[in-house]
Amino acid sequence: MRIEIDRPWDMHLHLRDGAMLNLAAPHSARHFAGAVVMPNLVPPVADADALRAYRSRVLRAAGTDAETFTPLMTLFLKNQTRAELEAARETPGFFAVKLYPAGATTNSDGGVRDFGDAEPTLRAMEKLGIPLLVHGESGGFVLDREAEFLPVYRDLARRFPKLKICMEHISTAAALPLLDEFENLFATATLHHLLFTLDDLAGGLLAPHLFCKPIVKRPEDRAALRAAVFSGHPKIMFGSDSAPHPVEKKECAGAAGGVYDAPVLLPALAALFAENGALDKLEGFLGGNARRIYGLPAPRGKIALEDAPQDVPAFFEGENGLRVAPLFAGTRLPWRVADGNFS
């Protein structure tokens, strides 16, 4: 079996900086048309100058693949003024503003503590037509955090009806009805929330490489997400939330949250969609929906996927002894990108 799809978009990606950026960027740039690049660096990407400089570093790290890879840059929400937002909007590659509730995930301490404080910035974004991406939980990692956060989405959607609001990496069945309730609400979904539940993370030996925020949830949550995505839900876009950490930050007490799946996304998604008889919905999930929702550029070229096996290395190595373990490290995947490279 072999399929061809438009070069895909990853609508939620962590590329980091420095040696990690150099390791991670080529994995996404090789096969993707572009990605929405998260701003949670230290310090966060919070103004036009930081955004411009970070975009240059991303393009440099993407190497020759930068010609076919468009980084869509995001700004970390920090009560920016209208003038600051306008400056960011004029920066090449600017895409959206990302809201992190303070302390919700990696490098989010400078995020929003009081939603009232964010009101003027959100109002200005609505006027300027800048999309808002919202990290989907308020912090911590107990099971019902996302459900607790749903009133925040409702409130935002109601108060800012012209603001395009994206629930980033929805992880529960409870979040799905909001997409029908509000025209201005959209969502991204990850590969790992479609694949795994808490049993995979902690039902046997602890699997720290599956630990992420939001955590993977119950079987019924995964089933609801799968049903929505495999039916071709028009408001759900693929956003990997691929988030690399050095091996020693994952395999330790106090492990960091983040699944590094950029290298295996396309084979793993093809296998999952094929197993579920949904291959015809893959292209929409991987870009068609995002193009319609955000007006992204027309496709540039195709990617072929085939059901031929591919071995995933135990880790990828970067500069200065950096090692990162990808999802499915050391296992054999049943599908691959037809050029034989990891994505």
Residues assigned a catalytic role: 241
Q: Which 55-94 residues touch ligand DOR, going by CB under 6 A?
A: none
Tokens linked to 227: 């049903």
Q: Which is nearer to Zn ion, 221 or 241 (CB)?
A: 241
Cis preceding-peptide flag for 8 (omega within 30 of 0): no
Residue 70 contact, options ligand DOR, Zn ion, none, Cβ 5-8 Å cut-off depending on partner type: none
258 counts as binding ligand DOR under rule CB under 6 A: yes
137 counts as binding Zn ion under rule CB under 5 A: no
332-333 and 310-311 beta bridge pairing: antiparallel
213 counts as binding ligand DOR under rule CB under 6 A: yes
Three-state secondary-structure class, residue 315: coil
Q: Which is nearer to ligand DOR, 7 or 12 (CB)?
A: 12
- Output DSSP code: residue 60: H
284 counts as binding ligand DOR under rule CB under 6 A: no
Is the Cα torsion angle 164, 104, 76, 286 positive or negative in sign? negative
Alpha-carbon span 233 to 71, nearest angstrom: 25
Write out the DSSP string of 288-338: IHHHHHH-PPPP--EEEEES--EEPPS-EE-GGG-EEPPTTTTSEES-EET
CB of 259 to Zn ion, least distance (A): 10
| Beta strands, E only, 147-239 | 165-168, 185-189, 236-238
Cis preceding-peptide flag for 43 (omega within 30 of 0): yes
Count of H-run helices and E-run strands, the chain: 13, 15
Tokens linked to 166: 């994206």
CB of 255 to ligand DOR, least distance (A): 11
40 counts as binding ligand DOR under rule CB under 6 A: yes
243 counts as binding ligand DOR under rule CB under 6 A: yes
241 counts as binding Zn ion under rule CB under 5 A: yes
Three-state secondary-structure class, residue 219: helix
Task: Round the CA-based radius of gyration of the chain to a whole number and report it.
Answer: 19
Q: Which is nearer to ligand DOR, 98 or 336 (CB)?
A: 98
Alpha-carbon span 2 to 274, nearest angstrom: 11
List phi, psi (to 5°) of 73. Answer: -90, 145
Q: Consult the annotation and say whether 55 binds a ligand.
A: no
- Pattern of binders to ligand DOR over 101-140, x per CB under 6 A? ----xx----------------------------x-----
217 counts as binding ligand DOR under rule CB under 6 A: no
190 counts as binding ligand DOR under rule CB under 6 A: no
Q: Which is nearer to Zn ion, 137 or 283 (CB)?
A: 137
Given the rule CB under 6 A, which residues bind ligand DOR?
14, 40, 105-106, 135, 212-213, 241, 243, 257-258
Residue list for the binding site: 12, 14-16, 40, 98, 135, 169, 241, 245
Binding-site members for Zn(2+) are 12, 14, 98, 135, 169, 241
Residue ranges at the known binding site for substrate? 14-16, 40, 135, 245
